[in-house]
A and B are shown apart, each in its own frame.
Chain A
Amino acid sequence: MGHADTTIPISVTPVPVWRRMRAFYPIVSLFVLLGMWQATVMLFEPAPYLLPHPIAVANVIVSQFPALLYHTGITAFETSLAFTLSIAVAMPIAFLIARFRWFEETVYPLLVVSQAVPKVALAPLILVWLGFGLSTKVMIGILVAFFPVVISTVVGLKSVPKDMIFLGRSMGLSARDMFRKIYFPFALPSIFGGLKVCITLAVVGAVVGEFVGADKGLGYLILLASGQMQTALMFAALIFLVLIGVVSFALVQWAEARLMPWHSSVRQDAGH
């Protein structure tokens, strides 16, 4: 008595330093990409309006920095609003689908069919309905981005094992506590899977919104630069767009690691 059958170390086994620097590999691939770009320009000498020199792009970024920052701020704001409201729309729908049979049967098929509509094609219609303001971009963002959150949340809530539900009921958990203490935490890893897709789609939605009608934001800037054949400026805008995508994705990942340190998608020792 008094001995555990297997000794599993609680501490994490040491990982080599270079592997712990998680930025290492992406930085390498970024530099390889830049090198290929530079090599292409030097080898084939394309017209600058087709493929600008990396240095030219860097120059634009420096000279146009305040304007780029301003438009980035606009797009980032639209994206975060679209993301937040996507969650606000998707979660209740998902909870109702997982909880009530009749709701699932009436709403779910409709929702799935609605996803067959290319949402980008709806952008001009939204523009007509909501005008040139912020609401159009946010609405398009929500339309594009909320569905993965519904799916991932429903899947998460529905995959709670039967025995775990039995356990909760045998403890006399109220419906509310059942949700708080079992369903929601169990579904969280799956929900975050959906949130990661949602955040990238929210950027797409905001830019599409800016394409159809805007006087600010990175989408607007790209369209403007395209019209004036200012390809270097377009590249600069694209780089800032990528930054929005990467940073917002990283924020979701950070929240995931903070909220569920137990999960294998977050743990260092899992996988590989």
Chain B
Amino acid sequence: MGKPVRIEQVTKSYHGLEALSPTSLFLEEGEFVSIVGPSGCGKSTLLRIVAGLDTPTTGRVSVADRVVTQPETDIGIVFQSPVLLDWRNVLDNVLIQAEARKLPHDVYAARARDLLAAAGLKGFENAYPHQLSGGMSQRVSVCRALVHNPSLLLMDEPFGALDALTRDQMMVDLQKLWLRSRPTVVFVTHSVQEAVFLSDRIVVMAPRPGRVEAVLDVPLPRSRRLSMRGTAEFNAIVDEILHHFQRMGVIRDEEDEIPENTTVEMAL
């Protein structure tokens, strides 16, 4: 089960330049929150600060009422690239989490196999990263982020480098895996549809300086199916987010108007 995350008046400046202006956000335990916004609005910065991998210039983050002062370890992170260790096979790439935490090998090897199977990687346990496609590698990295059952899952544009079909499948699989253990998730994406499909809440961020523009609820029932993307409720939320981007001047339509059921992805 997830832990609640409290982000309080967090700012970050690099060389005196404000990358993130005061940002506050509260994530309930087990909540799935997406962050969407153009490049350079501080999404990755915010994620690193939550993970304790970077320190905020001012403000603070607490996870389950404990202020983050060093790298969180009850955490799973998925980066845009899979970041697999080339010298380990798939299973050992996942198991490095157990190794690092001195957890019992046998128990976690079974867990890892189970997760890999659920992610469609049965039979690839002994393959090396160079033998995997981009989508498969990213699945391994999602399994690695989940195998130790972390309370917090941070994902920074995890499917950004994948093709559209693979992304759809990953989205469905991620929802399934998340529903198993319900960690608190912060999911950064460029795809509005992805955000709406997966999230309980969506944070829309704006650039220069990075800040929270709006927070939207997604009151769609779970577990969600791909076909849900055709429904009016789904697209109403997509449109609302796109309107925010339009207002920010991030995207501009020819007639300055967003067509119905748009599938525009934020190619930023």
- Majority SS at the chain A contact face: loop
CB nearest neighbor in B for A185: B87
Q: Are B121 and A4 in contact (CB under 8 A)?
A: yes
> Contact: B83 with A263, CB < 8 Å?
no
| Shortest distance between the CB of A105 and any CB in chain B (Å) | 21
Whether A171 touches B85, Cβ cut-off 8 Å, given contacts A4-B120, A166-B51, is no
* A interface, CB within 8 angstroms of B: 1-6, 8, 10, 161, 163-164, 166-173, 177, 181-182, 185-186, 188, 260, 262-264, 267
Chain B CB count within 10 A is highest, among A3, A166, A186, A267, for A166
Inter-subunit contact B96/A166 (CB<8 Å): no
Q: How far is B96's CA from A186's CA once the two chains are assembled, in angstroms?
A: 15
Smallest CB–CB gap between B200 and chain A, Å? 22
Point out the residues of chain A lying under 8 angstroms from B81, CB to CB.
161, 163
Whether B53 pairs with A169 at a CB distance below 8 angstroms is yes
Contact between A170 and B53, CB atoms less than 8 A apart = yes
- Please name all residues of chain A whose beta carbon is closer than 8 Å to the beta carbon of B127 when the two chains form the complex: 10
Within 8 A of A (CB), among B105-141: 117-118, 120-122, 124, 127-133, 135-136, 139
Cβ < 8 Å to A, chain B residues 68-95: 71-73, 75-77, 79, 81, 83, 85-87
Q: Please determine whether A166 and B73 come into contact, CB atoms closer than 8 angstroms.
A: no
Given A4-B124, A10-B127, check contact A167 B176 (CB 8 Å).
no
Query: Could you say which of A6, A163, A260 contacts B136, with CB atoms under 8 Å apart?
Result: A6
Known: A1-B120, A5-B136. A170 touches B77 (CB 8 A): yes
User: Which residue of chain B is the closest to A267 with respect to CB atoms?
Assistant: B130
Q: B130 contacts A262, CB within 8 Å? A: yes
Contact at B83–A8, with CB atoms within 8 Å? no
* Contact for B75 among A10, A164, A170, A182, CB less than 8 A: A170
Q: Are B169 and A5 in contact (CB under 8 A)?
A: yes
Chain A residue nearest to B97 (CB atoms) is: A171
Contact between chains at A172 and B166 (CB < 8 Å) = no
Expressed in whole angstroms, the minimum distance between the Cβ of B215 and any Cβ of chain A is: 26
Count how many chain B residues have C-beta atoms less than 8 Å from C-beta atoms of the other chain: 42
Instruction: Quote the shortest CB–CB distance from B140 to chain A (angstroms).
Output: 11
Which listed residue, B73, B131, B132, B133, touches A170 by the CB 8 Å rule?
B73
Q: For the A-B complex with A5-B165, A10-B124 known, give 7 more contacts whose Cβ atoms are closer than 8 Å.
A: A4-B135, A5-B135, A164-B85, A166-B79, A167-B77, A167-B83, A262-B87
Within 8 A of A (CB), among B163-209: 165-166, 169, 172-173, 176
Q: Give Cα distance in the complex from A3 to B83, angstroms.
A: 22
What are the residues of chain B within 8 A of A182 when measuring CB–CB?
Answer: 85
Residues in B neighbouring A168, C-beta threshold 8 A = 100
Contact of A172 among B79, B101, B135 (CB under 8 A): B101
Q: Which 3 A-B pairs have the closest CB atoms?
A: A171-B100, A172-B73, A6-B133
Specify which of A161, A172, A267 is in contact with B83 (CB 8 Å cutoff): A161
Cross-chain contact of B133 among A8, A185, A188, A267 (Cβ < 8 A): A8
Q: How far is the CB of B158 from chain A (nearest CB, A)?
A: 12
Asked if A5 and B133 sit within 8 Å, CB to CB, the answer is: yes
CA distance A244 to B169 in the complex (A): 56
Q: How far is the CA of A33 from the CA of B133 in the complex (A)?
A: 45
Decide yes or no: A3 and B120 within 8 Å by CB, A171-B101, A262-B86 being known contacts: yes
Q: Is A185 in contact with B73, judged by CB distance below 8 angstroms?
A: no
CB neighbours of A164 from chain B (8 A): 83, 85
* B120: contacting residue among A2, A166, A171, A177, CB under 8 A: A2
A188 to B87, CA, bound (A): 10
Is the CB–CB distance between A171 and B86 below 8 Å?
no
Contacts of A170 in B (CB 8 A): 51, 53, 71-73, 75-77
Tell me the nearest residue of chain B to A164, going by C-beta: B83
Say if the beta carbon of B243 comes within 8 Å of chain A. Answer: no
Chain B residues in 8 Å Cβ range of A171: 73, 96-97, 100-101
A–B pairs, 12, beta carbons within 8 Å:
A2-B120, A4-B120, A4-B135, A4-B136, A6-B135, A8-B132, A163-B83, A166-B53, A170-B51, A171-B96, A262-B87, A264-B130
Rounded to whole Å, the gap between the CB of B174 and the closest CB of chain A is 11
The 8 Å CB contact of B85, one of A8, A10, A185, is: A185
Determine which of A10, A169, A177, A263 lies in contact with B71 in the assembled complex, contact meaning CB atoms within 8 Å: A169
On whether the beta carbons of A1 and B176 are closer than 8 Å, the reply is yes
Given A5-B135, A182-B85, A173 contacting B100 (CB threshold 8 A): yes
Any chain A CB within 8 A of the CB of B244? no
Q: Is there a chain A Cβ closer than 8 Å to B48's Cβ?
A: yes
**Which residues of the partner chain B approach A262 to less than 8 Å between Cβ atoms?**
86-87, 128-130
A-facing mask of B29-69, CB < 8 A → 1, else 0?
Answer: 00000000000000000001001010000000000000000
B79: chain A residues within 8 A (beta carbon): 163, 166-167
CB A175 to nearest CB in B, in angstroms, measures 13
* B120 touching A172, Cβ below 8 Å: no
